[in-house]
Amino acid sequence: MRFEDRVAIISGAASGMGLLAAQRLAAEGACVVLTDVNEEAVTEAADAICAQGGDAVGVRVDVRCYEEVEAAATLAMERYGSIDILMNSAGGNAARVLGRSGPFHELDIEVIDWGLDVNLKGAVYFCHAVLGQMLEQKRGVVINMGSVDGVTGSGSPDYSAAKSGMIGLTKSIALIGAPHGVRSCCVSPGPVLTRPAMAKMKTRLGRAAEPEEIINLILYLCSDEAAFITGDNYRIDGGRSIGGMYG
């Protein structure tokens, strides 16, 4: 029960890494506010956690709308009295999520806007909404979900730019928070088996990660065991970003 009496807010929590993190945090004692643009799915996810004995609430939040982000932070305070963990997990490759195809320079600008807004601006919004409370209570951890593509670059410049920006956001929040006991870390996975297509992406270890492997790192960074860790980006990519040619 590493997170007993802790309160977590997670964006993109209706599926994938955000949902798994919410389930694991709740199982280890945290009260969890799950947020996602899919209201039905995020409500069902929170209800399922409660049915397993956890304490969770699901809230519809479009991370592109600051008023909705701020309302989720307010709900966490009103319901639980603190905000101890923020995990910025909402995001994805815009072209894939929106069902578009074609090279970057031929994509509609609305696709590019979606990628930048959801993958980066939403995280900035959530940090803005919760940081004051964390500073006041002199405790808190921010986990920003990056990507190996933010380190190496990719064929999706908007995605890579946003994920690279998560590293700068992490370092900046760490600088602001350090005098007040607030930490910030970025976790940058390589391919993860949240989608079958991920299995085809090459890594030096010859496989994609199991989702639990990523969550194990995230929960460690959120815990008191990592109390002296802040401000860095943690690649968990099976050696994908080492460089050199694949055979």
Task: Tell me the average pLDDT across 93-121.
Answer: 94
| pLDDT tops 70 at residue 190 | yes
Q: How far is CA 168 from the centre of its chain?
A: 15
Position 198 confidence tier, pLDDT thresholds 50, 70, 90: confident
pLDDT in tens, 23-39: 999 999 999 999 999 99
CB 131 within 8 Å of CB 181: no
Q: Which residues are identified as catalytic? A: 159
CB 56 within 8 A of CB 25: no
- Average of per-residue pLDDT across 71-97: 97
* DSSP E strand boundaries for the chain: 7-10, 31-36, 55-60, 85-88, 140-145, 182-189, 233-236
| Structure confidence at residue 246 (pLDDT) | 63
Contact (Cβ atoms closer than 8 angstroms) between residue 9 and residue 126: yes
Given pLDDT bands bounded at 50, 70 and 90, which one contains residue 201?
confident
What is the per-residue pLDDT for 244?
Answer: 76
174 Cβ contact list (under 8 Å, min separation 6): 183, 184, 185, 230, 231
In a domain, 17, yes or no: yes
Q: Let me know if residue 154 belongs to a domain.
A: yes
Q: Is the pLDDT of residue 196 over 90?
A: no
Integer CA distances (angstroms), 152 to 1, 112, 125, 235, in order: 37, 19, 25, 11
Query: Is residue 229 helix, strand or coil?
Result: coil
Q: Quick one: pLDDT band at residue 195, thresholds 50, 70, 90?
A: confident
Asked whether residue 2 is assigned to any structural domain, the reply reads: no
Choice between 201 and 54, residue whose per-residue pLDDT is larger: 54
* Alpha-carbon distances, residue 191 vs 77, 188, 199, 202, 209 (angstroms): 35, 10, 7, 8, 6
Q: Tell me: the pLDDT tens digits for 133-161?
A: 999 999 999 999 999 999 999 999 999 99
Tokens 């990056």 — which residue? 146
From CA 183, how far away is CA 185, in angstroms rounded? Answer: 7
Supply the pLDDT for residue 245.
65
Q: Domain range holding 54?
A: 7-242
Query: Is residue 247 one of the residues assigned to a domain?
Result: no
For the chain, percent of residues with pLDDT exceeding 70? 99
Phi and psi at residue 218, in whole multiples of 5°? -60, -45
Q: For 178-187, what is each residue's pLDDT tens digit?
A: 999 999 999 9
Overall number of domains in the chain: 1
Reported as type and span, the H/E element at residue 49 is: helix 39-51
Confirm if 193 and 215 have CB atoms less than 8 A apart.
Answer: no
Which CATH number goes with the domain that contains 193?
3.40.50.720
Long-range contacts (CB closer than 8 Å, 24 or more residues apart) made by 43-48: 45/13, 45/14, 45/15, 45/19, 46/22
More confident residue, 150 or 247: 150
- Using CA atoms, how far residue 237 sits from 35, 72, 114, 190, 196, in Å, is 26, 31, 25, 4, 17
The answer to whether residue 163 scores a pLDDT higher than 80 is yes
The larger pLDDT score, comparing residue 67 to residue 197, is at: 67
Please state, for a pLDDT cut of 90, what percent of the chain lies above it.
Answer: 93
pLDDT mean over 119-143: 98
What does the pLDDT read at residue 247? Answer: 57
